[in-house]
Each structure stands twice: as structure tokens, then as C-alpha cells.
């Protein structure tokens, strides 16, 4: 996935004889840490920070993959987004208990390469916090995910969209419970974990499009799945 950006220094240059500034959008390949060091064609150097959690970045990648016609990649990215959301929930909850960050990170190493253990941690921490069972993928949906990721199955557009809907439903319902119970503390933690390139002379910020907990409307950061598909110009074929 690429993000579209415009050089902030070019934007400040004087108008040309026709009264226009000469600049153009630059596509920049998304990178893992969200900090993009860019040099425009005029040699200007600047940084673009993608202010998003990893699960938000991956969800954007998944929806973009559907838009571009890559259904298998979409399913894989949706699945990864959900796993990284579980990680976000776990780390937030442990942080909210006042446990030292170094102990949290050292403990996370024990499960960082084992998604089943992370799922187990998520479900029991959710149970302890809300006294109810967490919403997770149903067994047939897990089977579909494994069929795509591990057996090379190429899903249809309908299957990819439907899988994304199920993943979004879990993220949305869980995060909205956090918004209701932990609002200020949740957003404080969320913002503290966003990519930051402190000290850059010129920098721009971008947000994820499908999910962004930075944008709160009527008390929530979430909307319906169909509106996300519409934003990415995807027709719901289900």
C-alpha cells in the first residue's frame, strides 16, 4: 500500500508567473514503523508520520487489497489486523493495571510468536475486565482463514469482504466497550503508542482511513462497515 503526500516545503514556495504553485502528490510506500523519510524531486527532505496503530494500518492494507483485486492478500491482512488488535487490547489492559512497561514487554516475548497464546490471553483478560465472554471468530471462519493463509486458497471478492466484516465486527464491538469504560485513559494510551519522529525540521502527519481512533464522532471512533467499503470505492457484492 502507498500513501499520497505533498512536500511541505514545495507548498511554501512562491507562485509561478501564472499564479500557481508547481507541486504534485508523491506516492510513498508504507513501511512498518510508520515513519517515512522522504526526499522530493527538488531535493527537499521531510518526514511523514502515519499516526495509526498497527491494527489500523493492517486494516487499511486489507481494504486497499480488495479495491486493487488482491483477495488472498486482503484476507491475510484482515487476519493480521485482528491479531494486532488483540495485542493492543492486552497491552492496554496490562498498562491500565499499573504494571511496569519493562515487565510487560519482557512477558510479551513469551507469546509474541504464538497467536493462539495471544488469543487465550485476550479472551481471559476480556473476561476478567467485563465479566462476559469475548467476541472472537467462529470456528468455521477460522477454518476459512487457515485455508487461505496456509493452504493457498484464493477467495472470491464476496468471501474477502465478508471476512473483513467479521473481523471489523470484533474490533468495533470490543473497542467500543473500551471507549465506554475507559475513555480518557484509553485515548491517552492510544496516542502514547503512535509513531513519532521527534525533532524533525519538516514533518507531515497522516491517519489511517478505515479505522482511526484519533477521530471521535458522537463518542466513538467507529462507523458501519459499509461506509468503509464505500470510502474505498468498493461495491458490497454479498
What is the domain extent for residue 186? 54-193+222-238
My answer on whether 81 and 139 are in the same domain is yes
**213 by DSSP, 3-state: which?**
coil
Q: Residue 213: inside a domain, yes or no?
A: no
Tens digit of pLDDT per residue, the chain (238 long)?
677 777 777 777 655 445 444 455 566 677 788 887 888 877 878 788 889 999 999 999 999 999 999 999 999 999 999 999 999 999 999 999 999 999 999 999 999 999 999 999 999 999 999 999 999 999 999 999 999 999 999 999 999 999 999 999 999 999 999 999 999 999 999 999 998 887 667 777 888 999 999 988 888 999 999 999 999 999 999 9
The Cα–Cα gap between 182 and 177 comes to 8
Same domain, 235 and 163: yes
Report how many domains make up the chain.
2
Q: Is the domain of 183 the same as that of 147? A: yes
Flag whether 179 is in a domain.
Answer: yes
- Nearest CA-CA partner of 129 in 80, 167, 186: 186
Strand pairing of 2-5 and 26-29?
Answer: antiparallel
Within the chain, residue ranges assigned H as helices are 54-68, 71-96, 101-108, 115-130, 139-151, 157-192, 225-231
Bin 69: left if φ > 0, else alpha if -120 < ψ < 50, else beta: left
Residue 66 forms part of a structural domain: yes
Whether residues 80 and 10 fall in one domain: no
My answer on whether 60 and 102 are in the same domain is yes
Give the pLDDT of residue 69: 96
What are the strands, taking DSSP E only, across 35-174?
35-39, 45-51
- Residues 128 and 167 both lie in one domain: yes
Are 158 and 78 contained in the same domain? yes
185 within a domain of the structure (yes/no): yes
**Does the CA dihedral 32-66-219-137 come out positive or negative?**
negative
d(CA 48, CA 38): 7
Residue at 175 is within a domain: yes
Q: Which residues pair with 51 in a beta bridge?
A: 207
Using alpha carbons only, give the angle 70, 164, 142 rounded to the nearest 5 degrees. Answer: 100
Report the alpha-carbon distance of residue 155 to residue 60 in Å, rounded: 19
Q: In this structure, is residue 40 part of a structural domain? A: yes
What are the backbone dihedrals phi and psi of residue 2, each rounded to the nearest 5 degrees, phi first?
Answer: -120, 150
* 41 assigned to some structural domain: yes
- Cα separation, 30 vs 50, in Å, equals 9
DSSP string, 105-131: HHHHTTTTT-HHHHHHHHHHHHHHHHS
Whether residue 233 is found in the same domain as residue 128: yes
Q: Taking the model in full, what pTM does it have?
A: 0.89
93 in the same domain as 41: no
Q: Is residue 217 part of a domain?
A: no
69 and 175 in a single domain? The answer is yes
Amino acid at each position: 500500500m502507498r500513501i499520497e503526500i505533498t512536500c511541505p516545503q514545495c507548498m511554501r514556495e512562491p507562485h509561478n508567473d501564472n499564479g500557481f504553485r508547481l507541486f504534485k502528490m508523491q506516492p510513498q510506500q508504507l513501511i512498518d514503523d510508520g515513519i517515512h523519510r522522504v526526499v522530493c524531486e527538488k531535493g527537499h527532505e521531510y518526514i511523514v508520520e502515519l499516526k495509526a496503530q498497527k491494527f489500523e494500518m493492517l486494516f487499511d492494507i486489507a481494504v486497499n487489497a480488495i479495491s486493487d483485486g488482491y483477495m488472498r492478500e486482503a484476507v491475510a491482512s484482515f487476519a493480521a489486523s485482528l491479531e494486532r488488535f488483540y495485542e493492543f487490547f492486552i497491552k492496554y489492559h496490562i498498562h491500565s493495571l499499573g504494571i511496569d512497561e519493562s515487565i510487560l514487554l519482557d512477558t510479551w516475548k513469551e507469546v509474541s510468536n504464538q497467536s493462539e497464546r495471544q488469543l487465550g490471553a485476550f479472551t481471559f483478560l476480556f473476561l476478567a475486565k467485563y465479566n462476559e465472554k469475548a467476541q472472537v471468530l467462529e470456528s468455521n471462519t477460522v477454518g476459512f482463514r487457515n485455508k487461505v493463509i496456509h493452504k493457498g486458497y484464493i477467495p472470491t471478492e464476496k468471501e474477502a469482504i465478508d471476512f473483513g466484516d467479521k473481523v471489523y465486527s470484533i474490533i468495533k464491538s470490543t473497542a467500543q466497550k473500551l471507549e465506554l469504560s475507559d475513555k480518557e485513559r484509553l485515548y491517552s494510551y492510544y496516542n502514547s503508542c503512535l509513531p513519532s519522529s521527534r525533532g524533525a525540521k519538516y514533518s507531515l502527519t497522516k491517519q489511517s482511513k478505515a479505522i482511526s481512533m484519533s477521530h471521535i464522532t458522537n463518542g466513538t471512533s467507529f462507523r458501519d462497515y459499509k461506509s468503509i467499503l464505500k470510502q474505498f470505492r468498493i461495491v458490497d457484492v454479498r
